[in-house]
Homo-oligomer: A and B are copies of this chain.
């Protein structure tokens, strides 16, 4: 049994073992589930829910446990011996949780998290034929619960892996906020020796249609072979398993809530296509640097906000942030970077109190051009910083990162507007509005 410490104590105290069927009492919820063999852990209990999904709960959240019965698995999890091939390029996989981190045992129907090297190898042994894989667990959360402060740990962990010899670092991550994390790593890490590849799955590994194996295998290929040393997102490029696409971390969003090709590059073509091989689709990228130049700036000001405007938006949404001493607000404005006139007094007050206000467009495609219309000109005159083609969530991440570094006002403004990681696109190609990845 891989449970130890608090987790083992909790289970032992209730006489509960792996594959026992139990009732779990949490703050908000009471559920029936089956206890799964998890990776070695002293803090989490791994459970299979009645709907077939698996989940890990921190023991601190568990108020009470009750044993209902015992399920006899037909056989225990296979425990295939994996050979770590020292002759292959080193690739680090850092686990951050999410849908990708689960798999099914078809013989028992039970779901087991595949967090450990052992588990993962059983699920996707192909990756060990491609690289010298090392695994590291950073987080075990659904990505909707991601917090900016985790980005600090993430940047440090990635840096350690590169300094430890990795040719590329892969992060398995929930897809909900994967594009936020990819943008954060793009800024926090500079002069990378290799790519930082964010990947995930839209179907958990306990489903026959899971995209996790294809995405992870493609990530390893890209991490080893690509000349691109940027923070990127690698996911399915089509609804089927035929190809993956690689998106610049600062130029993509999750644009579909459920399709396997849920991510899309905005205003630029994907950086690469991965199927049997890796095909680079662009000449414009940041190349690999010598390991010694790697720079990490793991900072984030949590008093940063992102606000979408709309007809009737309450000015109090800005006021309350100023009252709580927020230091920066990114507005996702309408059209070319507009906000309703009646919230101008709130914006003006924010700026007077030293809050950095930056403007992006909620249209997603295109950008902010605040000289065209009166509204934009007035906002600019007040001191609102136009961020051109920067995506709203990227602007949020970049502003928080810059505020965290304690730059002087004018410096901050200049760096915020500067194109550091291709987050700005000088000219949007006509066919990049809706790039069709299939053609």
Contacts and interface: CB of A to CB of B under 8 A. Distances in A.
A317 interface: yes
A239 B373 CA distance: 21
Interface residues of A, number: 85
Contacts of A259: 365-366, 433
A62 B377 CA distance: 17
Contact of A381 (B28, B148, B338, B366): B28
A51 interface: yes
A239 B55 CA distance: 47
Nearest to A338: B144
Interface in A283-324: 302, 304-314, 316-317, 319-321, 324
B377 A339 contact: no
A175 B142 CA distance: 37
Contact of A144 (B254, B339, B367): B339
Contacts of A340: 144-147
A247 interface: no
A23 to B, nearest CB: 16
A311 B177 contact: yes
A311 B148 contact: yes
B316 A262 contact: no
A332 B314 CA distance: 16
A375 B310 contact: no
A142 B374 contact: yes
B145 A257 contact: no
Given A363-B254, A378-B29, A144 B312 contact: no
Contacts of A130: none
Interface in A219-247: 239
A320 to B, nearest CB: 4
A187 to B, nearest CB: 14
A176 B366 CA distance: 13
Given A29-B377, A314-B321, A258 B393 contact: no
Interface in A177-192: 177, 180-181
A332 B366 CA distance: 21
20 contacts: A28-B344, A51-B372, A142-B338, A142-B373, A144-B339, A145-B341, A147-B311, A177-B334, A254-B363, A256-B366, A256-B433, A257-B335, A257-B337, A257-B367, A258-B367, A259-B366, A306-B313, A312-B400, A316-B324, A317-B321
